[in-house]
Amino acid sequence: MYELLAQILKFLLIGLIYYFLYNFLKLMVLDLSEEKNTSGDTGYYLRSDDGREYPLRPVTTIGRAGDSDIVINDPYLSSKHAMIFKKGRRMVIQDLKSTNGTFLNGKRIKRAVALREKDVITMGGRNFTFLRREARGLESGSDL
């Protein structure tokens, strides 16, 4: 009798063990896909006065120089003007000792400052709004 029971239940047990494993493998896949998302795209972007949008990567440099990530042709900008980067879950802006300075909501920044949504960044003569894309990737992933 016991033997019969054990023989039948072994299939159930193996099934349950794999169900458990499946859930954890799924978590691992979620982890990895999040990793991928964050390495490419942060889900944030800057919108310029003229309506152009610049997506932000984990590290984005802004300036006049051709090797900046966002190149803006404005004589009041320095060649390497500012940098926006991901720190933990936040995006942080830092001025790269530019001649005319970087302003956040009208205040000139000296150290690295964390950005909040709809913050207005002013560089040279231009205003940029810091916005978040309606994406799922970050919302679900980063909390893992």
Contact residues: other proteins, CB under 8 A: 2-14, 16-21, 23-28, 30-31, 87-90, 92, 94, 111-114, 140, 143-144
Integer CA distances (angstroms), 16 to 10, 11, 13, in order: 10, 9, 5
| 125: three-class secondary structure by DSSP | coil
Comparing CB distances to other proteins, the nearer of 23 and 52 is 23
Query: What minimum distance in Å lies between the beta carbon of 51 and other proteins?
Result: 31
CA–CA separation, 15 and 91 (whole Å): 44
Helices (H), 1-144: 2-40, 136-141
Query: What minimum distance in Å lies between the beta carbon of 103 and other proteins?
Result: 18
Comparing CB distances to other proteins, the nearer of 52 and 110 is 110
Comparing CB distances to other proteins, the nearer of 67 and 111 is 111
Instruction: Give the tokens for residue 43.
Output: 């889900």
Query: What minimum distance in Å lies between the beta carbon of 101 and other proteins?
Result: 18
Query: What minimum distance in Å lies between the beta carbon of 126 and other proteins?
Result: 24
Return the amino acid letter for 11.
F
81: how many CB neighbours lie within 10 A of its CB? 26
